[in-house]
Amino acid sequence: MGNWERLVWNQRDVLLQGLLVTIEICAIAFAVAIVMGLGLALIRLYVRPLRWIAGFWIEYCRATPIFVQLMWVNYVWPELIGWPTSFYTAGWVALALQSSGYLAETFRAGIENIGRGQREAAAAVGMSPILAFRRIVLPQVLVMIAPTIVTQFTVIVKSSTLVSVITVQDLMFQSQRLVNVWYEPIEILTATAALYILFIFAVSALGKALADRLRLRYGLGT
């Protein structure tokens, strides 16, 4: 028990600080991934001249290992476009890119699932395509893909451990630092794993609760 107290409890500030960074970077990456994913899906579906670019981009995001993506964004992008300028930014950008590819395909499948008739009915009462998308298509798509979106967040959380490699001081980074100080990995890594499990569990539970509320609100509850 003494070990746990010395290695974990006494270092709780460091670990929690790391956890906070993890939460933050995941939240940013997630928000960006959703916006990008939806944008890419819409471009692929509706903006004919840019369709192939979006398609290529989506494939690139999905086919590149997250580690390669992280290195690429961190070391190559600054050379090419002068951005990102911090490891932190590079971290969430890489995470967002990876997920945006998957989310784009999820959104696309969801949007294609809404029958053409519903959109025609919207057009027939004078709705613009944008209004119809916002009021008719998107709510149904969100309900439909909510579980996938939650899963995607947990993927981001797991992948986020890699940003420690580029010295972003997330939970994994702090944990490894403590291990390197004491060379006693058992307690620290176990505690780290427990924190990740808790975080992912909390996210899943919250996501499920939100999804259920959404379904209820739109009368699509079970």
Partner 1 sequence: MADAASTPPCVEVVDLHKRFGPLEVLRGVSTRVDRGSVVSIIGASGSGKSTLLRCINYLELPTSGEVRIDGEAVGFERRPDGQVRKRSAREIARFRQDLGMVFQQFNLWPHLTVLGNVVEAPLRVRGMPKREAMELGRACLARVQLSEKADEYPARLSGGQQQRVAIARALAMQPKVMLFDEATSALDPELTGEVLEVMRGLAADGTTMIVVTHEMAFAREVSDRAIYLHNGLIEEEGPPAQVFGDPKSDRCRQFLAKLLH
Q: Does 124 bind partner 1 (CB under 8 A)?
A: yes
| Residue partners of 212: CB distance under 8 A and separation at least 6 | 221
Q: Does 220 bind partner 1 (CB under 8 A)?
A: yes
Take residue 77 and report the two structure tokens written for it. Answer: 């992008």
Candidates 50-58, 64-72, 111-119, 171-179 — which segment interacts with partner 1 by CB under 8 A? 111-119
Closest approach of Cβ 70 to partner 1, in Å?
38
Phi-psi region of 74 (alpha: psi -120 to 50; beta: other; left: phi over 0): alpha
Q: Which is nearer to partner 1, 76 or 123 (CB)?
A: 123
Helical axes 12-46 vs 185-217, angle rounded to 10°: 40
Interface of this chain with partner 1, residues 125 to 184, rule: CB under 8 A: 125-129, 131, 135-136, 139-140, 143
Closest approach of Cβ 135 to partner 1, in Å?
6
Closest approach of Cβ 31 to partner 1, in Å?
24
Q: Does 42 bind partner 1 (CB under 8 A)?
A: no
Q: Which is nearer to partner 1, 5 or 112 (CB)?
A: 112
DSSP H helical segments within the chain, as ranges? Answer: 2-7, 12-46, 51-63, 66-71, 77-81, 87-113, 116-124, 129-132, 138-159, 171-182, 185-217
Q: Does 219 bind partner 1 (CB under 8 A)?
A: yes
> How far is Cα of residue 74 from the mean position of the Cα atoms in its chain?
18
Per CB under 8 A, residues contacting partner 1 are: 115, 117-118, 120-129, 131, 135-136, 139-140, 143, 218-220
